[in-house]
């Protein structure tokens, strides 16, 4: 017994335009179902797997086609990433040191497939974090606690170089490294502060001593100059100079005299300027 609805559907399929639309619809569904393309975004690389096997080719940014079922595209981020890590270490003089460091790194883009094959996408947890811990402990052990503070740039550069040497063979590049903070035990911190205070006081005392010394030298120099001037002046005094000074004094007195003689006479007689001075 024939079903009219089924017969109508078969007749519709046999119709040329309807059949084409059905085929196109099926193809579109299959296209989105198998997704035979992959999009690699900015700062990413595509790793090609053929039946799970990593291939030598690394896909750059953009749209790429793949063979459905056969190929799989794994996206790996190769942008610069930052990680901040804390670690406990010991200095060469056996002081406990707590460090906090910041590391900027990235996967070498052309080696993304090798990183995926040898480490996977969890390379931070597997490689970077352990490397930071080990390097911080190893480098800190070569410096005293005080040197870790006073030679901080040198310590930071040595840690960065050690991390670069350790991570580069794994195709992970170090872009920047910095020591965020050092912290020590309270006893050691108090000792450092006391030492700095003593050094500052000693420096102030030295500056005061230098100032007093300079002032004393200036006073001695002034006294010496004054004594030398008196000595030279004494050497220049002669009888002729004394007589000249008397004549000059008499001339100044005559210039000031108004021409009026004193009205009172007595034992002093009439004063004649210059009489009896010789």
- Note the pLDDT tens digit of each residue in 152-164: 999 999 999 999 9
Report the SS3 class of residue 171.
coil
Strand 44-50 versus strand 53-59 pairing type: antiparallel
Give the mean pLDDT of 259-266: 59
pLDDT at residue number 164: 94
Greater pLDDT, 21 or 70: 70
Residue 155 belongs to some domain of the structure: yes
Residue among 179, 159, 166, 172 nearest 86 (CA): 179
Q: pLDDT (tens digit, 9 = 90+) per residue, 192-232? A: 667 777 777 777 778 877 888 888 788 887 878 777 776 66
Same-domain status, 33 and 45:
yes
Q: In whole angstroms, give the CA distance from residue 47 to residue 57.
A: 7
Strand order in the sheet with 44-50: 53-59, 44-50, 71-77
Q: Which of 3-12, 124-133, 217-226 has the highest mean pLDDT?
A: 124-133
Answer yes or no: is pLDDT of 31 > 90. no
Q: With cut-offs at 50, 70 and 90, classify the pLDDT of residue 278.
A: very low
Q: pLDDT (tens digit, 9 = 90+) per residue, 137-154? A: 999 999 998 888 889 999
Same-domain status, 110 and 16:
no
Half-sphere exposure of 166 (CA within 13 A, CB side): 19
Greater pLDDT, 60 or 239: 60
Q: In whole angstroms, give the CA distance from residue 222 to residue 53.
A: 95
Give the mean pLDDT of 4-29: 59
Angle separating helix axes 152-167 and 129-140, nearest 10 degrees = 140
- Provide the domain limits for residue 227: 204-249
Same-domain status, 95 and 171:
yes
CATH number for the domain harbouring residue 100:
3.30.479.30
């Amino acid at each position: 017994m024939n079903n009219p609805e089924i017969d109508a559907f078969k007749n519709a399929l046999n119709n040329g335009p309807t059949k084409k639309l059905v085929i196109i619809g099926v193809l579109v569904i299959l296209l989105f179902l198998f997704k035979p393309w992959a999009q690699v975004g900015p700062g990413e690389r595509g790793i090609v797997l053929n039946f799970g096997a990593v291939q030598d080719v690394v896909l750059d940014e953009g749209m790429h086609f793949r063979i459905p079922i056969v190929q799989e595209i794994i996206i790996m981020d190769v942008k610069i990433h930052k990680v901040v890590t804390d670690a406990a270490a010991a200095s060469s003089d056996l002081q406990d040191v707590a460090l906090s460091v910041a590391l900027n790194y990235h996967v070498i883009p052309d080696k993304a497939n090798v990183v995926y094959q040898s480490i996977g996408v969890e390379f931070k947890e597997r490689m970077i974090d352990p490397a930071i811990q080990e390097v911080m402990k190893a480098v800190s052990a070569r410096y005293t606690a005080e040197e870790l503070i006073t030679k901080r740039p040198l310590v930071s550069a040595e840690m960065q170089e050690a991390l670069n040497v350790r991570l580069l063979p794994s195709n992970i590049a170090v872009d920047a490294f910095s020591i965020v903070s050092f912290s020590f035990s309270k006893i050691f911190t108090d000792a450092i502060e006391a030492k700095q205070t003593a050094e500052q006081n000693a420096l102030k005392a030295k500056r005061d001593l230098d100032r007093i010394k300079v002032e004393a030298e200036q006073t001695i120099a002034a006294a010496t100059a004054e004594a030398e001037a008196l000595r030279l002046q004494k050497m220049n005094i002669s009888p002729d100079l004394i007589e000249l000074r008397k004549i000059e004094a008499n001339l100044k007195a005559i210039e000031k005299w108004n021409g009026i003689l004193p009205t009172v006479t007595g034992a002093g007689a009439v004063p004649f300027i210059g009489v009896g001075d010789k």
